Structure formats: C-alpha cells, structure tokens
Structure 1
Amino acid sequence: MDTLERRLAKLARAGDTRAFAEIVELYKDKIFHLAYRMLSNRHEAEDIVQDTFLRVYRNLERYDENQKFSTWIYRIGTNLCIDRLRKRKPSYSLDAEMTDQDGVDGYAMIPSDDRTPETYLLVSETQRMIHEAIETLPAKYKSVMILRYLQDMSLQEISDVMDMPVTTIKTRVHRGREFLRKKLEKKI
C-alpha cells in the first residue's frame, strides 16, 4: 500500500492533480476520524482535514520517500489538532456534537448480542463518561491515547507520527491511562 502512496506522492509532486486527488481520497476519512476524535467537533475536524491536505500539497517536495507516507500525513494532521487544542479556550457549547442520531457516540461500543434498553443505557452512559474523561486529558496525553486506542496505532507508529522516542510515547500512554482511570474512578 505504501509504495502506491509513494508513487502517488511522486506524481503529485510532478504536478499530476489526479494523483493528488487520489491521495486525498485515500486519507480524507482517516484524517477526519483522527481530528474528530481529538477535537470532538465536526466543523473543526473538517477544517483540520482541509488544512492537512493544503499543507501536504504545499510541502510535497519535503516528503521523504524513505518514510512511510501514512506516518507523514498523520503527523501533519495530529500536529494541526494539537495546535488547535492548545489555542482553544475552555468552551461549553449547547450544540456540541457529542452523539450521532441514535444517541451513541461510538467510542467504546461494547459488542453484545442481547441488547436491552437497560444495556443501551449502560453502554451510552459508559461512553459518555469515557468521552468526558478523554476531553479532560492534557493535549500531550489526549493525542497519544487517541492514536493508540482509537486509531489502533502501535507505539512505534505513534513515535513516528509524533516524532518522539518510543519511551516517551510509552510514558504518555501510561500516564494517560492513569489519568483516565483516576477520572473514571471518581465517577463510578
């Protein structure tokens, strides 16, 4: 897969707009999901997707073909999200998008064959608590936790995306988990 992306990047760098459009098609949903999970806001996530591809387009000549393309584009998207989180002032919006049309936000769906209204309520409440706890994480832990547990990236992949040593990533994952555990223990 990554050789296709490298080839597309090389073609796009040479001015092939169809190749760049194919890169956008390959990554737009992935970057949106990453940004939405980090920012919890559809409009901000859409802005991050646009900003990511704008930055990718402007910096194609700086892409190192010895590096995985996915790592490079995730790094750009993650850094834009972190910048956005740092600039945010605490705000509480009555129309913030916390759930989908069914009232489920999808972060920690617990699979079950025998869902009753009570189990839906429990799962929904658990998801809300986890979502709220993730929202309170400092940006440096939030981004690592989202990449690790919601994007299913390995510690090495996160290290590449964040441009940090794996040991730092391990520490942040550990501290992020501890932070979430303490936060959730208070609520239960």
Structure 2
Amino acid sequence: MSEKMHFTIISNDSTDGDGGYGVGSIDLNNVTPVIIDCENEHVYIDVEALHGRSKIEKKVRFAPDLAHASDDYYRYWIVWVATQIGQNGPYYAGCTASEVRVSKEERRIKLGYKSLPEQVNYLDKALKRKFILDHIDSNSKKLLYQFLSDFNEAYWEHSPEELKQQLTITEGV
C-alpha cells in the first residue's frame, strides 16, 4: 500500500514577472529531504522535513545543544537533495546533510538535538548546487550512495563527479 515517493523537479518559478509578491522567496520545488536512519540503516524520502514535521521530528523537543539528546540516542541525517533538469535529463544538482539526534529515553515528548540554523544553511547550500557530505559517517555515506544510485539510474549517471566522489568509501581508511 505504500506509494513510492519521487524527487521533485523544478516547476514554474513564482518569482518571474512584475517583481511583486514572492520576489526573494525560496522555491523549494526542486529540493527533496531524504532521511538516513543510522540505527536501522534505512533511507527514505520524507517531504514533511521541509517544514520540520518529519516522522523523526514529531513529538521531540529540540535544542541546539548535543547534550540535550542524552548519551543514548538515535542518530539521523536529514539530507537535502536538489534536483535539476539538464541537457541529458534530470540529475542530483546539490546535496548536503545535517545531523539530528533523538533520545532513546521513553517519554511522551522526547528530547533531541538539531541545529535549525545549520539545517537552513545546508538547505540553502543544496539549492545553490553545493555538495557537502564530508562530515557524515562512512556507513551513512554508503547508505546514501545506494539510495541515490538505485533510486533512478539516470539521475545518478547525469550527476556531477563531485557528488560521486564525496560518497565514495575507500576501504581501510
């Protein structure tokens, strides 16, 4: 019953025209949030992350302090994947990741860590066609590589070498 999620592609630009309403706003039509669940080694699309309402963010009180998530926590990455259509077809044009931690402690409202300014900055950098993935752990890189390359072979083939290099895991390092 689960419907396969799709990456969004650029649609009409609301900032065209007379320079009135909407000018200066960010068009999020070409960015898709991908969640990496490190503990369960699961990667999936959750569009609600664009509004801070992803499955991992619900019923969590976040603070920008790592200690807020305690010593025993679930670790996630919210990966901002920007797509674009080029001469050869669609491709991954930008990709960045920000960390989220949620305490494993059983409570009605869990405690967690995320840096909202960091998330916004990484989202902005993905939209500006940057690839910033060096800070994520090697297993998460492997999971993201598998997800992006398997999701749509054409997207992966047309993507810049910089993305492929950042997701390449060198054994023994």
Structure-2-length-normalised TM-score: 0.31
Structure (1/2) with the larger helix percentage? 1
Larger radius of gyration: 1
Structure-1-length-normalised TM-score: 0.29
